[in-house]
Every structure is written in C-alpha cells, then in structure tokens.
Structure 1
Amino acid sequence: MKKKWIAAGAAGLFLLSASAGVYAGSNLQQIKAFLDPSMKFLVNGKPFQPQNDKGAALAPISYNGSTYLPVRAISNALGVNIEYNGATNTIILGEKLAGIPIADSYGSSGQRTKDPQSTSYNGKDYKDVHFNNLSGARSDGFSLYPKGKYQKIVIQVAAIGKDIEEFFVSDAETDIKLKTDTIAVSEGLKTYEIDISGVERLYIHSDLEDGGSIFVPLTTSYYK
C-alpha cells in the first residue's frame, strides 16, 4: 500500500498543546483510524522517531490508505519553524513574513543556489540564496520582477570575507538608484526596506573585491 506523508491537522494541534477550547467550535469529523507503531522512519539516511513536545514517542496514524504524521515532530525533523495561531485556528509552517518572498520573481543567474553548503549564514540555513563567492574583483548583479504589484521590497544582504564598497538597488527600466550603500562584514545580515511602487523590474548590484562574497537570502527577503 502506497503511504503518503500528510501533516495531520488534528494531530498537529495536539502536539502544539492547543487548549481544549480550540476544538469547541470546530467542525471536526469522527473517523476510524489506526495507530501504526511498527512504521519506521529515516531522515537524511538516519533513524528518526516522531516525538511529542515532552519527548514521548509517537506512532503515525493510518487512515484510508494514507499515513498521517504529527506536524510538530515532522517540522523538528526537517528543521522547519512551526507555530499555532489559536485565534485563527491556523498552523504556520516556515518563516513568518509580512509579504511575498522574492524567490519566485528572481531572474536567471548562475549565483542562485540551494546547496546546503552555501545557503547557511551565522548558523541559519536560508534554503535558497543568491551567493556570489567567485574569485577576483568583480561586479555582481541580478534582476527581480515585481511587475508593479508591490509597494515595498524588504531585502537582506550580507558581505562575507571583504566589505562591499558599493551596493545599490535600482529601477532597471529608468536606471534610477532606489538605494545605495556600503556593506561591512561586521554589520552582519543587513535589512533594507525600499519603496518600489510601480516598478516593473529591479536590478541589484554590488562591486566585490577578491576574496569577498555577497549573500542574499531569497526566502526571507520579500515584497509587501
């Protein structure tokens, strides 16, 4: 029987320690399901035991040909943030952002990477980044396509190895610079909020020295 990994909402709510009051007005449906303690899991090739927030072992639920896994346990195994909003009865997986991540509007560039060896900064894995660590003094640039749909962009940038003496974000259609700055290695991951009302295409540019790199997380930089 083919098994599917499905994050079960009801199980996830228990693991998030939601109060009984959350369920009082909900539209729950009673089903007949089975716990399957015999099922084993491997995460990145290593044995994994689902557990609740107190460390007790949990068994997956088998129902109608699918295997339902606890939300909290799976989020911990995969390193994904999780939070429960009782007011809206919503499970929030991943980063909480005020807008739309820029990843989907990123233009083609050889410096985009999802390689885990290149996507981490200060101990955090950003999963999808623009990372230019080529050798030699060079210019770096990539385009974003907001297509006039957003008021602002919030973009994070870090200099690695050497300071970035010139960094700018421009309206690619008019060549007007919307933000210019220098970025020091010691400043860590800097966050810029820039007005982009009506802008169709953005160009992000930096001048890099030999031994210097630029790191732009595409998952935590966003439009709003």
Structure 2
Amino acid sequence: MKKMLASAIGLSVLFGASVGVYAGANLEEIKAYLNYDIKVKVNGKTVQLLDEQGNVVTPITYDGSTYLPARAIASSLDVAVDYDAASNSVLFGEKVEGVPLNSTQTFYQAIKDPNQTKYKNKDYQEVIKDTTNNGYNFTLKPGKKYQTLYLQVAAIGSDVQLKFEDDNSRLLKSETVKAEDGLKTIEVNVSGQNEVTVFYKYENDTGVNGIFIPLTTSYYK
C-alpha cells in the first residue's frame, strides 16, 4: 500500500477551484498562507505536487493546519479523483456505481446492429466486434476520472491476446482470452490515465477468428 508523508502535523485536503461553481452561501473568506516549506513524500521519495494542467501547486497553511490539493495528492498516490457536482462531493478511488464505456465516449467502430450484437443469445446492444482483421486496436478515454477498468471480452474461434498500454506506450496489463472462457472480465488499473490503447491479436489462424466486446456491460469504477 502506498503511504504519504508530509513534514507537517494535522494535514487536510483541498480539491481545488477546478471542481466547478460553488454555492456562494457555503463560502467563507479566510486568511491563509502558501507554505513553501512543506515537502510531500510518497514511499520515501519526494514528489512535486502538480495540478491537472501540470502546474506546480503549493500547500496552504491555515489556523495551525496544512491543506494539500486533493487532485495533486491523488495523482501522487496513483488514486483516481473526480468531482460530483450533483452532490458537491470529491470522489477518491473507485466509484460506487460502474460507468458503462459507451456512456463516456463515442466509439467509431461500435456495432449496434441487433444481428451482430448478440453473444450466447443475449443482446448487448452496442459492441466492438471484429471478425475480419488479424489484429487491431482501439482507444479508451477514462480521462483520469476512474480507478479501474472492467473490460468484458469474448474470443470467437482462436484465443485472443490483449495488451493495454498507457499514453506513453507503457504496458499496463496483458491477458489472453480463450474461446472456452466465454465472456471474460479483465480488470485494469487505469488511475491517472487519460487514454488507454487496447491491442488485440489472435494466437492461431483457425479460419474463424474474432473478438466480441460489449460496451454496455464493460465499465469503469
């Protein structure tokens, strides 16, 4: 488990002004100080706190307590952070409810034809289905809002090898799905990832190769 250390006692957390428009009645003006002496360490290594745009942010000291920017701390600890405007809440880690992939982005290669969106007699309504290419890829866009990707994948015919890579082409996970696995759920840590590229190819050319990925039941949390 990752641990956060800071050279101050009684640290609290601030999300930052980027969360949206606050209700004026809930705001109270205070006098605080930017504290340039505070250093933050993660697993013994000093880290630079950055905002979503990559700008350096500084801890704030007020009334004997030091406040750290939530987004910067979450990024340093590799924990997803998001803001729910409806409940005025800061969300860390996995969300309570899963968010379907097709509700977060539009997939140009998605299939919605009922004749092709069924797997074992269940209609998944919107899927990525490829039975023509010998290997290809598609891009997911978690936008740094989610902790975990739960991708459902079924192999048609030959076994399918999958690789998940981050924005910098670093491997996040590799997995093999066999035809006898049925619809297999693959879990991938996507915390801090703006985009994830999924590569797939078939282990053997059986003449009936394919991949089936439902976008309605694959989700982020």
* Distance 1:153-1:201 versus aligned 2 partners, 3 A rule: same
Match of 1:123 among 98, 121, 124: 121
* Aligned amino acid, residue 219 of structure 2: Y
Quote the residue 1:104 is aligned against.
Answer: 103
Question: Shift of residue 98 of structure 1?
Answer: 3.1
Q: Is the 8 A contact 1:107 1:144 kept in 2?
A: no
Question: Shift of residue 105 of structure 1?
Answer: 3.6
* Distance 1:102-1:202 versus aligned 2 partners, 3 A rule: same
Tell me whether 1:192 sits opposite 2:186 in the alignment.
Answer: yes
Q: Give the alignment of 1:1-224 within 5 angstroms.
A: 98-106=97-105, 108-110=107-109, 112-134=110-132, 138-164=134-160, 166-171=161-166, 173-208=167-202, 209=205, 210-224=207-221
Q: Aligned equivalents of 2:153 and 2:196: distance in 1?
A: 15
* Aligned amino acid, residue 200 of structure 1: N
For residues 133-187 of structure 1, give each alpha carbon's deviation from its aligned partner in whole angstroms, at most 9, with x where no partner exists. Answer: 116xx212110111101111111000012211x211221x111121101111011
Q: Aligned equivalents of 2:184 and 2:116: distance in 1?
A: 18
Q: Aligned equivalents of 1:219 and 1:177: distance in 2?
A: 25
Structure 1 residue ranges, 4+ long, deviating more than 4 angstroms after superposition: none
Q: Aligned equivalents of 1:130 and 1:200: distance in 2?
A: 21
Q: Aligned equivalents of 2:209 and 2:194: distance in 1?
A: 30
Structure 2 gaps, min length 5: 1-95
* Aligned amino acid, residue 151 of structure 1: Q
Structure 1 gaps, min length 5: 1-96
For residues 49-107 of structure 1, give each alpha carbon's deviation from its aligned partner in whole angstroms, at most 9, with x where no partner exists. Answer: xxxxxxxxxxxxxxxxxxxxxxxxxxxxxxxxxxxxxxxxxxxxxxxx93110113445
Q: Aligned equivalents of 1:132 and 1:190: distance in 2?
A: 17
Q: Aligned equivalents of 1:101 and 1:129: distance in 2?
A: 12
Percent of pairs with identical residues: 37
Q: Aligned equivalents of 1:182 and 1:160: distance in 2?
A: 13
Length-normalised TM-score, structure 2: 0.52
Question: Shift of residue 123 of structure 1?
Answer: 1.2
Q: Aligned equivalents of 2:101 and 2:157: distance in 1?
A: 25
Q: Aligned equivalents of 1:152 and 1:108: distance in 2?
A: 19
Q: Aligned equivalents of 1:98 and 1:188: distance in 2?
A: 24
Q: Is the 8 A contact 1:109 1:142 kept in 2?
A: no
Length-normalised TM-score, structure 1: 0.52
* Distance 1:191-1:99 versus aligned 2 partners, 3 A rule: same
For residues 103-143 of structure 1, give each alpha carbon's deviation from its aligned partner in whole angstroms, at most 9, with x where no partner exists. Answer: 13445443x100111101011100000000116xx212110
